[in-house]
Amino acid sequence: QVQLVESGGGLVQAGGSLRLSCAASGIIFSINGMAWYRQAPGKQRELVAAITSGGSTNYADSVKGRFTISRDNDKKMVHLQMDSLKPEDTAVYYCSASIRSSAIATSKDYWGQGTQVTVSS
């Protein structure tokens, strides 16, 4: 069984910063891509940022230059540093990871439970 647990959400004023973290635990052979998604009320879930096992990153246009995704492979963690936050960044943020449980298993996508980020104007 694999679990992803997010932390670091909260309430912040516009222009402020937050750092989200996500830790993977359980039976893990390897972790491929890791990503952060978000879902605002009444909207579809959208990709915020993603990072490959080799460290290549990509970002949604709306967060480029403000958010930074990073990962710690030894600790099986992914982080999202969010700076210059705007009210439109308010959403539930979800961690996702593509994980293999053994050398012969195929990758499976796992999701965290989500953490609320609220940016006040």
Q: What's the confidence (pLDDT) of residue 1? A: 87
Give the rounded percent of residues in the chain with a pLDDT score beyond 70: 100
Mean pLDDT computed over 40-62 = 97
What is the average pLDDT across 46-58?
A: 97
H or E element in which residue 51 lies: strand 46-51
pLDDT at 85 over 90: yes
Q: What is the pLDDT, as a whole number, of residue 61?
A: 98
Q: Strand 30-39 and strand 18-26: pairing?
A: unpaired
Cα(65)–Cα(61) distance, integer angstroms: 9
Q: In this predicted structure, what is the pLDDT of residue 50?
A: 98
Amino acid at 119: V
Higher per-residue confidence, 21 vs 103: 21
Our CA angle for 118, 7, 11, nearest 5°, is 20
The mean predicted confidence, pLDDT, of the chain is 97
Is 57 in contact with 50 (CB distance < 8 Å)?
Answer: yes
How many Cα atoms within 13 Å fall on the side-chain side of residue 106?
2
